Amino acid sequence: MALPEQIDNSNPSEIACLMVPVSERMLLVPSTSVAEIVPFSAVSRVADSPDWLLGNYHWRELKVPLISFEQINGEGRPDLHSRCRVAVLNNTGQSDSLPFIAIITQGIPRLARVTEDEIQQLESSTDKKPFELMRVSLAGEEAVVPDIEGMEKAYLDSA
């Protein structure tokens, strides 16, 4: 039985993403990059680590480095409160020894279906941060596409 022409998985018309709230902005992350969103709980501090490494988060019997997206970009430490969540992110292939990293969020991410018609790259601005791949507008809402690979590399370089 042949599939209808409009069902073409080789060229998806939309990409499932998550809008992840961090301090003063939203991150736009493909849902395939996110292993799980879990409640924030205590982390194990790592001696002699950069400020942006909040510690190791214990997730599914693994120690996952918990990174502050704000601090790794040279901003202040985010507020840690009961509404915070942890977004555990799948690795990008930097190292087999680092299967996941995690970032602290300022709330519960929400699903966003991204289509080519609804998203546009915003002009480069002088205040683009080191771990931001690009800034976009999605259906009128501004978001940042984070550099997950860059954060992994920064962690591996600091370890």
What's the one-letter identity of residue 42?
A: A
Query: Which pLDDT belongs to residue 126?
Result: 64
Identify the CATH number of the domain in which residue 116 sits. 2.40.50.180
Residue 42 lies in a domain: yes
Who wins on pLDDT, 111 or 123?
111
Reported as a single tens digit per residue, the pLDDT across 64-112 is 999 999 999 999 999 888 889 999 999 998 898 999 999 999 999 999 9
Contact 51, 64 (CB under 8 A): no
Q: Is residue 2 part of a domain?
A: no
- Residue 119's domain comprises 16-158
Structural domain total, the chain: 1
145 in a domain, yes or no?
yes
Q: What is the pLDDT of residue 11?
A: 53
Question: How far from 128 is each of 60, 74, 85, 147, CA to CA, in Å?
Answer: 34, 11, 25, 12
For the whole model, what pTM was predicted? 0.86
Average pLDDT, the chain: 89
Burial (CB count within 10 angstroms: exposed 0-12, middle 13-18, buried 19+), residue 68: buried
Residue 10's identity, in one-letter code, is: S
- 157 SS3 class: helix
In a domain, 114, yes or no: yes
Give the model confidence (pLDDT) of 146-158 as tens digits.
999 999 999 999 9
